Structure 1
Amino acid sequence: MSGVVVSLEEAGGRPKKGQPASIKPLMDLVAPDMERVNQLILSKCGSDVALIPEVARHLIDSGGKRLRPMLTLASAVMCGYTGTHHVTLAASVEFMHTATLLHDDVVDESDRRRGKLAARMLWGNQASVLVGDFLLGQAFRMMVEAGSMHALDVLSHAATVIAEGEVMQLGTAQNLETTQDEYMEVVRAKTAALFAAAAEVGPILAGSPKSAISAFRSYGNNLGLAFQLIDDALDYGGSSQVLGKNTGDDFREGKVTLPVLLCYRRGSENERTFWREAIERGQSDDSRLEEAMRLMREYNALEDTLARARQFCELAQDALATFEDSAHKHALTEVLEYSLMRAS
């Protein structure tokens, strides 16, 4: 696949010449706080019901960069926060994310998550949903412990929006008549809402002005939109190592994503019949995956999806433009370039 990579030199956050963009600068900056987040996560997974920590730790220990809680930590410090509640809220953000993964795998009937068997394949759908509910409950308890009604309002609203997105996705599943606007609304709700909230609660804790809070919400929202579109493209042209799942899983599961919608709209009637058979009727074996990838190339679906992701990254970059230069600002800017370089 031909990747689309954005240059973010103007933001001052570009990696040194000759070095690829990386998430490592952000990870290094928040490492001490992330260690405390990880300890808190483990302590909050405890339960007298043995199955709860077993299922929760299966997913929590299965990898993932924990970008969302890192956004909470970085935005709080960047805005001058010196307390400890950013750790509590970062842990609650990760619990919310983990809960949505458990629920998503049940709704999507996914077999694998981050290269491992999905929890539902090991313990069943009922246990996965209920443990997800437990994690959401723990997330809300931690929000209350943080003592900020504003932060609680933001994160609880995000939980509502995410649930709405999951329901909206049921209406778009295997439905090729879904419009691009409808699809982007699902992405905004299911993925971008938590990125936005994670970034927004940091400056809220710091008592930052409304303009700073709005800027970080915009950064997180646009990063989340870009992140999902990049994943959509990678499913048809990336590697399993980058994706954390097998290439083509979205196709095999009949998921309607932006590259599929672009191909379906731009293709001939015979090609639209191909997509209906593959996505709506489940005729999605490996030979059809090859044809799907050929059509992606023919109609520039992957390049155009990544071009849209680039636009969202540029909006995220602009959101932080008025903040003074700092190590945290540079690291958050590099996250944008890193996200796009995943698809190169």
Structure 2
Amino acid sequence: MAEVTAMDRLARRTAEGLKLADSELRGRMSSKAAPLIEQLSAHLIEAGGKRVRPALTLAAAELCGGGGDSGVNRGAAKMAAAVEFVHTATLLHDDVVDESALRRGRPSANILYGNKPSVLVGDFLFARSFQLMVEAGSMEALRILADASATIAEGEVMQLATANNLATTEAQHLAVIRAKTAALFSAATETGAVLAEGSPEQREALRIYGDRLGVAFQMADDALDYGGQTRKLGKNAGDDFREGKVTAPVMIAFARAASEDEREFWRRTIEKKRQEPEDFGHALTLLTRHGAVRETIARARIWGEEAKTALEIFPPSELRGILADLVDYCVERAA
């Protein structure tokens, strides 16, 4: 029997709200004028994503007592769908920028449909997300997710500036993670609190939880790229290396390099992107030698502990426990 994970428990807890959100997603993907929009959107949205971000919006609303008469906050369900649309749009754009071949274990949309349709459909989904934000009925929630959308775009540009650059500092790398990944996690949880009319303290706690969870999630993902399996990643292991991305494991290994030969290896493969078939295996050897993946996971755990601490203003409950366990699930999948 398969293990029931914290993500499974969160999905079950928010199942009714996720059904409403999925209904919104399916209804807003369609376009009579351009059928390709629905085909391309469905390829990604229905590809088995875990819906962690929309589930977090619904969970945050419930944690703040905003379940509604039916047990589901309908404004939060619309916002959850908006969050998923923003996430999907950024994935479509990311895959074009990164020239990715796989997404969620399947050929990416840009491979199947081309770069231009992927970018344009991503733009369409962003537009749909803003329609849903308005319908959620809260100007403050709209502001939060709109700000996050702008921050994500800034993060994409920031990542271009640090790409293939081994002089990237830890502060710069963290700023990219905060913008590209954590901003949407944070907006997902904070908007849930806002739509449930949570107190300022509850809202701030959930904003912090989302931010720290997002950082921990991305650091674990960076570690997984150098030790995970394709089925866990939804992409090919080693894609970050082949794309020359300067992530925490590479930064740590480069900083701890014991010789000029090691440093030159990273310059050649990451900065110059001159790679031979055996280079990924050698990269794994160097990462292991210097404990780079282990250190990355340790850092993810520190951020994860901060996320769990933020939940402590809420009284103990099953839902609070699920959200705390979700942090461990996101981090330990890389261990």
Aligned residue in 1 for 2:15: 31
Kindly tell me the number of residue pairs found equivalent between the two proteins: 326
User: Of the candidates 307, 314, 321, which is equivalent to residue 323 of structure 1?
Assistant: 314
Cα RMSD over matched residues? Answer: 1.1
Aligned residue in 1 for 2:141: 151
Aligned residue in 1 for 2:195: 205
- The alignment status of 1:233 with 2:223, answered yes or no, reads yes
Aligned residue in 1 for 2:327: 336
Structure number with greater CO (CA < 8 Å, separation at least 6) is 1
1:212 corresponds to which letter in structure 2?
Answer: Q
| Cα pair 2:205 2:313 within 8 Å, conserved | no
- The alignment status of 1:302 with 2:287, answered yes or no, reads no
1:222 corresponds to which letter in structure 2?
Answer: R
- The alignment status of 1:77 with 2:62, answered yes or no, reads yes
| Cα pair 1:239 1:247 within 8 Å, conserved | yes
| Cα pair 1:21 1:341 within 8 Å, conserved | no
> In 2, Cα distance between the equivalents of 1:136 and 1:295?
41
> In 2, Cα distance between the equivalents of 1:80 and 1:210?
14
> In 1, Cα distance between the equivalents of 2:188 and 2:6?
20
Aligned residue in 1 for 2:30: 46
Shift of 1:21: 5.0
- State the Cα deviation string for residues 244-292 of structure 1 (Å, max 9, x = none): 1111111111111110011111112211110111112223344111110
Aligned residue in 1 for 2:280: 289
> In 1, Cα distance between the equivalents of 2:103 and 2:11?
22
TM-score (norm 1): 0.93
> In 2, Cα distance between the equivalents of 1:102 and 1:130?
9
* Sequence identity percentage: 48
- State the Cα deviation string for residues 280-311 of structure 1 (Å, max 9, x = none): 22233441111100110111101110111000
Aligned residue in 2 for 1:313: 304
> In 2, Cα distance between the equivalents of 1:115 and 1:36?
26
1:40 corresponds to which letter in structure 2?
Answer: E
Give 3-state SS (helix, strand or coil) of 2:278's partner.
helix
Q: Decide which moves more: 144-153 or 107-116.
A: 107-116
| Cα pair 1:176 1:256 within 8 Å, conserved | yes
- State the Cα deviation string for residues 204-234 of structure 1 (Å, max 9, x = none): 0111111110000000000000000001001
> In 1, Cα distance between the equivalents of 2:149 and 2:107?
26
- The alignment status of 1:271 with 2:271, answered yes or no, reads no
| Cα pair 1:26 1:70 within 8 Å, conserved | yes
Q: Which runs of 5+ in 1 are unaligned?
A: 1-18
